[in-house]
C-alpha cells in the first residue's frame, strides 16, 4: 500500500454467470503480464495490482484475486461448479427466491476461508467490495484499507472484523434469485443485497475516489503517470432488445428484466 511508484487499480463489474467473460479477459491479462514482467509460474494478478474492486460476481473474482488465487482457479470455480452456486431453493421458498444460498456460502467459505476476515493478512492487495445495505437504503463501499474511517480497530463497528466470504455473499444477493445476507457489524445487524443495485455495478469510479480522495486516507496521486485503472466488464445480457418499445415496459416487464440483468 505504501510502496513507491505508480498505483495499479482493477475494477470488476457485476453480471452473474457472465463473470466468466471477465475471467477469460483476466486470464489473458495474467498471461501477458507474466510474460512482459519475466515473472515465474507462480505469478498472479494479485502481485501486480495494488487495489482491486468488485461488485456482485465481480466481488467473487476480486476477493479471489486479492487472496492470491490464479485466474484459472476462479474460472474453474465458475465453469465446473456453477451448478453448486445456483442450487435451486425448496418449493416452499421459491416464491421468495430461486436459489438457495447455502451451497454458495459453502463454496465461498472453501475458496476464501471460513475464518478469513476483510482485514486478514492473507489478502495480497487492497480490496473493495460494493454492497447495498437494504436496512439503511444506501450503498456501502467496504474496503480493507486500514486507514479508512470505519476500519479503526478501536471502533466496535470495525468493518475489518467481518468475514470476507459473507461480504462477497452479500454483494451477490440478487433479489428474486438469492436471499439477502444478514451481516453483523459491531452490535448491529444489517440486511444486505446485491451491490449491483447501487450506481456502482461498475465500481471503477468509486475505486478511483477511494484511492485518491483525502477522506479515504490513501491520497494516491490522480495523474496519468501515477495511476492506472483497468476496468473489466461482463458483456451484455442476452435479453437485450434493440426493438424494445416504451409501451412494453410495465411492472411485469421490470420485475423480470431487472433481476435478470444482474444474473445473466
pLDDT tens digits, one per residue of 190-222: 999 999 999 999 999 999 999 999 999 999 999
Q: Where are the domains of the chain?
A: 7-237
Task: Categorize the per-residue pLDDT at 264 as very low, low, confident or very high, splitting at 50, 70 and 90.
Answer: low
pLDDT tens digits, one per residue of 72-112: 999 999 998 887 776 665 444 554 567 878 889 999 999 99
**111 φ/ψ angles, rounded to the nearest 5 degrees:** -80, -45
pTM: 0.90
pLDDT tens digits, one per residue of 17-26: 899 999 999 9
Domain spanning 7-237 has what CATH number?
A: 3.40.1090.10
Amino acid at each position: 500500500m505504501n510502496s513507491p511508484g505508480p498505483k495499479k487499480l482493477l475494477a470488476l463489474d457485476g453480471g452473474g454467470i457472465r463473470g466468466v467473460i471477465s475471467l477469460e479477459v483476466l486470464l489473458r491479462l495474467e498471461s501477458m503480464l507474466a510474460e512482459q514482467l519475466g515473472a515465474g509460474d507462480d505469478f498472479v494478478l494479485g502481485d501486480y495490482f495494488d487495489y482491486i474492486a468488485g461488485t456482485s460476481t465481480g466481488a467473487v473474482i476480486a476477493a479471489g484475486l486479492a487472496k492470491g488465487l490464479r485466474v484459472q482457479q476462479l474460472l474453474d470455480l465458475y465453469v465446473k461448479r456453477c451448478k453448486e452456486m445456483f442450487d435451486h431453493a425448496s418449493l416452499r421458498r421459491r416464491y421468495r427466491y430461486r436459489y438457495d444460498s447455502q451451497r454458495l456460502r459453502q463454496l465461498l467459505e472453501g475458496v476464501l476461508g471460513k475464518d478469513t476476515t476483510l482485514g486478514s493478512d492473507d489478502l495480497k492487495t487492497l480490496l473493495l467490495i460494493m454492497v447495498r445495505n437494504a436496512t439503511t437504503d444506501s450503498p456501502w463501499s467496504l474496503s480493507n484499507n486500514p486507514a479508512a474511517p470505519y476500519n479503526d480497530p478501536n471502533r466496535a463497528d470495525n468493518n475489518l472484523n467481518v468475514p470476507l466470504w459473507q461480504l462477497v455473499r452479500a454483494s451477490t444477493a440478487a433479489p428474486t434469485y438469492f436471499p439477502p445476507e444478514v451481516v453483523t457489524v459491531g452490535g448491529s445487524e444489517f440486511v444486505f443485497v446485491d451491490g449491483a443495485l447501487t450506481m456502482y455495478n461498475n465500481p471503477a469510479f468509486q475505486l478511483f475516489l477511494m484511492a485518491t480522495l483525502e477522506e479515504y486516507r490513501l491520497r494516491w496521486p490522480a495523474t496519468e503517470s501515477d495511476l492506472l485503472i483497468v476496468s473489466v466488464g461482463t458483456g451484455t445480457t442476452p435479453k437485450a432488445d434493440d426493438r424494445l418499445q416504451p409501451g412494453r415496459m410495465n411492472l411485469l416487464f421490470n420485475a423480470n428484466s431487472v433481476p435478470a440483468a444482474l444474473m445473466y
